Amino acid sequence: MLIQLTYASRTSRVLGPADIKDILSASQRNNARAGITGALCLNNGIFLQQLEGDRAAVNALYHRLLKDTRHKDTAVLDFGEIPHRRFTSWSMGLLGSVDANRQLFLKYSSTPDFDPFSMSTLMLRSFFDEILQNVRWLE
Ligand SMILES: Cc1cc2nc3c(=O)[nH]c(=O)nc-3n(C[C@H](O)[C@H](O)[C@H](O)COP(=O)(O)O)c2cc1C
Each residue of 24-71: pLDDT tens digit? 899 989 999 999 999 898 888 999 999 999 999 999 999 999 999 999
Helix (H, G, I), strand (E, B) or coil at 18: helix
Q: Looking at residues 60-87, what average pLDDT do you find?
A: 97
Domain ranges of the chain: 2-133
Element holding 45 (H helix, E strand): none
Best CA proximity match to 24, nearest among 59, 60, 70, 66: 70
What is the SS3 assignment for 135? coil
- The ligand 1 atom nearest the CA atom of 64: 17
Closest ligand 1 atom to residue 30 Cα is 11
Any residues with Cβ below 6 Å from ligand 1, and which? Answer: 9, 23, 26-27, 29-31, 40, 47, 49, 61, 64-65, 68, 70-71, 92
CATH architecture of the domain with range 2-133: 2-Layer Sandwich (3.30)
- Specify the DSSP element, H or E, that contains 72: strand 71-81
For the ranges 5-14, 58-67, 76-85, 120-129, which has the lowest average pLDDT? 120-129
Supply the residue whose CA is at minimum distance from atom 23 of ligand 1: 26
Per-residue model confidence (pLDDT) at position 72:
98
3-state secondary structure of 100: helix
The mean pLDDT of the chain is 89
- Contact present, 36 and 53 (Cβ < 8 Å): yes
